[in-house]
C-alpha cells in the first residue's frame, strides 16, 4: 500500500511540473500514429495532452507509458468534429502542466470511412459530411484554437502545427478519405502565410502504408514492390518526422508536405 501511495504521489508531482518545451496537443493520440507521436513528443520534453474520442483505456495506457519513462501526459475525451468538445479540449490543455504554454499541435484524428466507390455512393451526403467533419472540420477547429494561444500577435510564444494527411490524397482512394485528405492539404497551404506571420509554423506529414488499426486489414492486398524500401512503415517512423517538424531544427520549415512512405511515389495505387 505504501508503495502504491508513493507511486501515486510521484505521478501527481510529475503532472504538476512544467515541461521543458511547453504543452503539445495530439488528437487521436490513443493509438497508432497518434500514440507514437504522443510518446515521441513527451520524450522531447513536451507535456502532452492526448485527445481521444472513445477509447479511454487506450489513452490512459499511453499516458502511463509516458509517465513510466519520466514524461508528462494527460488524456482528454474530445470528438474533434464537435466544436464544444474542441473548446473544452484546449481549455483543459490550458490548465495542464502548471499552465505551460501551448507550443505544438498534431492534428492526427481521422476516420477512413467507406472504402469502395459503391459504398461511398450508398452512404450519400451523410457519409461525406461525417468524414469531412472529422478529417477537415476537426483540424480547422483545432488550428483556430491553437492559433488563439500560439499567435505572437496575441501574446503567444509561437509554435508548430503538424497535419497528418495521407498519400491517399494523390491517388483518390479510398474515395471519401482521399477527398478529405486533399481538402486538408489545401486548407493547410492556405494557412501557411497567416500563421507564419503569427509565429506559427504549419506543415503536413503524409504517411504511406503504415502498420495501424486503420490500414492493417489492407496489408494483404498491398503490392510491396511499389515501395523502394520494401516494407510498410511503423508509427514511430512517422512520429519521428512529426517530432522533427515540432523541433527548433525545423525552424525555417513551413508549408512542407513531408512524405513518410518508404520512397513510394505519389499516385501509385494499392495492389
Sequence-distant (6+) residues with CB within 8 A of 163 are: 107, 139, 184, 185, 188, 202, 203, 204, 205
- pTM of the predicted model as reported, rounded to 2 decimal places: 0.88
Residue 215: per-residue pLDDT: 63
Sequence-distant (6+) residues with CB within 8 A of 187 are: 136, 139, 140
Bridge partners of 72, per DSSP, are: 47
Q: How many CB atoms lie within 10 A of CB 93?
A: 25
Angle in degrees, 0-180, between the axes of helices 32-44 and 235-245, rounded to the nearest 10: 50
Q: Render each residue's pLDDT in the chain as its tens digit; 271 residues.
A: 343 333 333 444 444 466 899 999 999 999 999 999 999 999 999 999 999 999 999 999 999 999 999 999 999 999 999 999 999 999 999 999 999 999 999 999 999 987 666 666 677 788 899 999 999 999 999 999 999 999 999 999 999 999 999 998 988 888 899 999 999 999 999 999 999 999 999 999 999 888 887 665 665 666 777 888 888 889 999 999 999 999 999 999 999 999 998 887 776 555 4
Residue 261: per-residue pLDDT: 86
Whether omega before 15 lies within 30 degrees of 0, making that bond cis, reads no
Residue 262: per-residue pLDDT: 81
Residue among 177, 202, 207, 262 flagged as catalytic: 177
Report d(CA 59, CA 44) in Å as an integer. Answer: 19
Task: Measure Cα distances from 132 to 70, 83, 166, 181 in Å.
Answer: 37, 14, 14, 9
Sequence-distant (6+) residues with CB within 8 A of 183 are: 132, 135, 136
Helix (H) or strand (E) holding 137: none
Closest to 142 measured CA to CA, from 95, 189, 177, 184: 184
User: What is the residue whose three cell numbers read 474515395?
Assistant: 175
Residue 158: per-residue pLDDT: 98
Residue 174: per-residue pLDDT: 86
Taking the CA atoms of 147, 150, 152 and 153 in sequence, report the sign of the dihedral they define. positive
Maximal C-alpha separation, the chain: 60
Q: Does the annotation count 52 as an active-site position?
A: no
Closest to 268 measured CA to CA, from 188, 169, 180: 169
Fold of 24-260: Rossmann fold (3.40.50)
Report d(CA 21, CA 208) in Å as an integer. Answer: 29
Angle at CA 250, nearest 5°, toward 249 and 252? Answer: 120
| Count of alpha carbons within 13 angstroms of residue 47, beta-carbon side | 22
Amino acid at each position: 500500500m505504501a508503495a502504491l501511495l508513493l507511486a501515486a504521489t510521484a505521478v501527481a508531482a510529475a503532472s504538476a511540473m512544467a515541461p521543458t518545451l511547453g504543452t503539445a496537443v495530439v488528437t487521436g493520440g490513443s493509438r497508432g500514429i497518434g500514440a507514437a507521436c504522443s510518446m515521441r513528443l513527451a520524450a522531447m520534453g513536451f507535456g502532452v495532452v492526448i485527445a481521444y474520442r472513445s477509447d479511454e483505456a487506450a489513452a490512459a495506457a499511453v499516458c502511463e507509458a509516458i509517465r513510466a519513462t519520466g514524461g508528462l501526459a494527460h488524456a482528454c475525451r474530445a470528438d474533434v468534429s464537435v466544436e464544444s468538445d474542441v473548446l473544452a479540449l484546449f481549455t483543459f490543455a490550458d490548465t495542464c502542466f502548471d499552465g505551460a504554454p501551448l507550443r505544438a499541435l498534431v492534428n492526427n484524428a481521422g476516420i477512413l470511412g467507406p472504402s469502395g466507390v459503391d459504398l461511398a455512393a450508398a452512404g450519400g451526403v451523410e457519409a461525406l459530411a461525417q468524414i469531412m467533419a472529422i478529417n477537415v472540420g476537426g483540424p480547422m477547429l483545432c488550428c483556430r484554437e491553437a492559433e488563439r494561444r500560439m499567435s505572437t500577435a496575441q501574446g503567444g510564444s509561437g509554435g508548430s502545427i503538424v497535419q497528418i494527411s495521407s498519400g491517399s490524397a494523390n491517388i483518390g482512394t479510398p474515395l471519401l478519405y482521399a477527398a478529405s485528405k486533399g481538402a486538408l492539404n489545401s486548407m493547410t497551404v492556405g494557412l501557411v502565410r497567416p500563421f507564419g506571420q503569427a509565429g506559427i509554423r504549419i506543415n503536413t506529414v503524409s504517411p504511406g502504408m503504415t502498420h495501424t488499426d486503420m490500414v492493417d486489414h489492407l496489408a494483404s492486398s498491398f503490392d510491396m514492390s511499389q515501395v523502394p524500401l520494401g516494407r510498410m512503415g511503423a508509427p514511430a517512423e512517422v512520429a519521428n518526422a512529426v517530432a522533427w517538424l515540432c523541433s527548433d531544427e525545423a525552424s525555417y520549415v513551413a508549408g512542407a508536405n513531408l512524405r513518410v512512405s518508404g520512397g513510394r511515389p505519389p499516385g501509385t495505387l494499392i495492389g
